Chains A and B, each alone.
Chain A
Amino acid sequence: KAGVTQTPRYLIKTRGQQVTLSCSPISGHRSVSWYQQTPGQGLQFLFEYFSETQRNKGNFPGRFSGRQFSNSRSEMNVSTLELGDSALYLCASKPISEGTEAFFGQGTRLTVV
């Protein structure tokens, strides 16, 4: 069974641009969560999607948004990029929203210059 797949692995963007990251969960998993990982703030929860609906949201500005498609694949978008958005963005999938074990992808390393 394939694991969680995130694309692209690396991305360099300029301040003010927008970016879209993609996550394909493990087959059969319907819950996808997104996390931002930085050296200073650690792993911070962005949001969770389940059955195409946002179930939970972390404390991030509205520039961070996401969506989930009917095949459970998810995308997150960051608009008007700032230097501080440089981070590793991780996606985790679970079979259901109330499920416990979350499996992470390898992440997308975003660098804003």
Chain B
Amino acid sequence: GENVEQHPSTLSVQEGDSAVIKCTYSDSASNYFPWYKQELGKGPQLIIDIRSNVGEKKDQRIAVTLNKTAKHFSLHITETQPEDSAVYFCAARYSSASKIIFGSGTRLSIRP
């Protein structure tokens, strides 16, 4: 079935350290994997995405990797800052439909 699993559910890192969030998906035909950041009182905001024909993508301090064989994808945030504190969601678009299925979210806290 359509499922995206996300780990960990909570993550606390020291400011300046790196944070990694991992997701797995079930449909091998999925072809698009966005990551969203949701701050308190706001809707999710797209921060980076990757398509199935690419293994890695980087945007400043944020990078995403995709392993199609293992059906894994990960978000890497380097040199974390206080403003990185938020809930992060991974997602996958299933080829059978245009809807996007979300992971359960990771609450990231940056310790000063």
- A→B interface (CB under 8 Å): 4, 31, 33, 35, 42-45, 48, 55-56, 58, 90, 97-107
Contacts and interface: CB of A to CB of B under 8 A. Distances in A.
Interface of B: 32, 34, 36, 41-46, 49, 51, 89, 93, 97-105
Given A42-B104, A102-B34, A90 B99 contact: no
Contacts of B46: 101-103
B43 A56 contact: no
A35 B43 CA distance: 11
Given A33-B99, A42-B102, A45-B100, A100 B43 contact: no
B44 A101 contact: no
The A interface, classified by DSSP as helix, strand, loop or mixed, is strand
A58 B100 CA distance: 11
Contacts of B100: 33, 45, 102
Contact of A55 (B34, B44, B98): B98
Nearest to A47: B99
A107 B42 CA distance: 7
B34 A100 contact: yes
